[in-house]
Amino acid sequence: MSPQAQNNCPITIIALPNETLCTIFNDFTPPTLAIIACLSHRFKDVAERLLYSSISLTETLSEGRPSPEMTLRWCNSMRRRAHLIDAIKKLHIRWQADTLNFPTHHLSTACLNVADVLRPLIYLESLEIFLGPANIVPAHGMEPMHAIERVISRCQFPLLRHCSLGADTTKGAQPYTGVLTTFLASLPSLRHLKLPSDHHALDLPADAMPNLSTFRGSADTAAFLLPGRPVQALSLIGHDSDVNRENLGRMTYTTVPLRYLDLSAMSVRPILVRNVSTHLPNLEVLRIKFALRHTLHYAFSGIVSSSVTPGCTTTLNRILEATEIIVRPLGSP
């Protein structure tokens, strides 16, 4: 028994070890933690580690506010707090623009600032970066590179499990180069990957991302990522015409059966459902958004029932039983 207990002396909260204080403070909201950090140097050390363990920054850029000021303030703050590098587990940065009619040259410098702070964060477990209009206009005087690649270049995160990378795209925008492929190949622990920007083939080594279990992105990218990997859940973006028999066929070469397919980000024609039933018979959940005009056309023409071979009918019926169907008129969100 401790001398304090023997003398019936109360133990003050300030005397508790940091691990106990961390457990106590863990359920507090960020504003409360900010107040606690002002109470004492001891509380500040514990509260800051909790505050910086999960960073989420969302900014709307405009002609009057073309720079991501909140992100830049965070970058400056991290440069003053190098001792918190090992505390940061989650970093989510999202830039969005209310219009593209404003100078974007500020964003190239902002990307370099983020890259400078990001590289030392080797303990990250979750990384989501969406750079909005940063990739619309080429960065003058810099090596041609996608804005996302400018941020992740030379980064290595051995503990990263969740990753989402993207930016607004338009015709003529800088495409991805080999920097993205090199980065993804350096993530041995990655399980969940989202690539919402439009891009295609990724020439990854066969042994890269051996634990990948979910992917969201374009059909062509999925066709290169899924073979040889234990992906069980897939969400596709783009148009239903992007999903064809060739890339569907490549998606079947996962090391475990694909169980979940989400097509709700595109307007689906029933013929795609037929193709899915042919190539992915082990699906347990299928989310689709039918375009109403096409759905009625195919239903009345009988193309679904008449063109499905007898061997596929049972599979199609079973998949439809497990389907979450969203029917919306064309043009609706």
pLDDT at residue 294 above 80?
Answer: no
pLDDT at residue 193 above 80?
Answer: yes
Q: Note whether 258 and 280 are within 8 A (CB).
A: yes
Alpha-carbon distance of 251 to 280, in angstroms, equals 8
pLDDT of res. 225: 94
What mean pLDDT value characterizes the chain? 83
Q: Which amino acid is at 218?
A: S
* pLDDT class of 311 with cuts at 50, 70, 90: very low
pLDDT per residue as tens digits for the range 101-120: 666 677 889 999 999 999 99
Instruction: Please tell me the total number of residues recorded for the chain in this structure.
Output: 333
Query: What is the per-residue DSSP string for 11-25?
Result: PPGGGS-HHHHHHHH
| Residue 176, SS3 per DSSP | coil
pLDDT of res. 100: 61
- In the Cβ-directed half-sphere of 95, how many Cα atoms lie within 13 Å? 32
pTM equals: 0.82
Cα–chain-centroid distance for residue 179?
18
Strand partners, 237: 218
